[in-house]
Amino acid sequence: MCGRYASTRNPATLAVEFDAVDETEGVAPTGYNIAPTTPVLSVVTRHPRDSQGVPDQARMVRSIRVMRWGLVPHWAKDPSIGSRLINARAESAASKPAFRAAVAKRRCLLPADGWYEWQRPAGRAGNPARGTRKQPFFITPADGSGLAMAGLWSIWRPPEATAPPLATCAVLTTDAVGPLAEIHDRMPLILPAQAWQAWLDPDWDDPSELLAPPSAQLVHALELRPVSTAVNNVRRDGPELIERLEPEQPALLDLDQIR
């Protein structure tokens, strides 16, 4: 699964990295502790539309946009459903009413520095030790580069004609690969750069070949970094959250949790 991640590169930097146009209009929702239902940066490819709203099928534009994490299907009566649709299983998303239209036509990339997973210490015979605090890990490219999580997006229009439409997204998840499975059985679907164009193509309606778990080579390039439990508090933010927690180093005391 993916319930928290870091994304600190600004839209201008991402526009260069993803060969995209910055359409964020000065909004830069970046941070070290991005949580569901908050604004995030995304990458999409669409046919540009003229003043009448007619798409130009001969052209496609890749852009950096702001969306809210938690997909709200276009048919939803209430946008609060998005809080329950932050992730979509890659194996079954195409058959789910909430996601199948997005799988076919509205796929995106969610740029990230890395994501967090929590591992519960093992008890006897490998069984989880109940009552013990989970250890958070920050999973990030070992070379310091960024990564792109496969996502789905949707546009929800409020019943009030004057209210602006809401762009939302979800992270696709898949079975954890290699050493990641020792921390959690699920992981975000990470796509290599050579798959970006096909994944974002709005005219390609069967991306099933890209929905498989990432290669072992890609996963082996990731660092599994234990970090402080300070990340547990969504109000905490800053580079200290992704610093490696050394074995003899105690977890940072979260004053907000004891007040």
Q: Which residues are catalytic?
A: 2, 117
The residue with tokens 């250890």 is 135
Phi-psi region of 234 (alpha: psi -120 to 50; beta: other; left: phi over 0): alpha
And the tokens for 176?
């954890």
Count of other CB atoms within 10 angstroms of residue 130: 7
Distance CA(174)–CA(186), nearest Å, equals 6
CA-CA distance, 190 to 43, in Å (whole number)? 14
Give the pair of three-digit tokens for residue 209: 């070949």
Contact 69, 108 (CB under 8 A): no
- Which residues, in sequence order, are CB contacts of 221 under 8 Å at separation 6+? 141, 142, 143
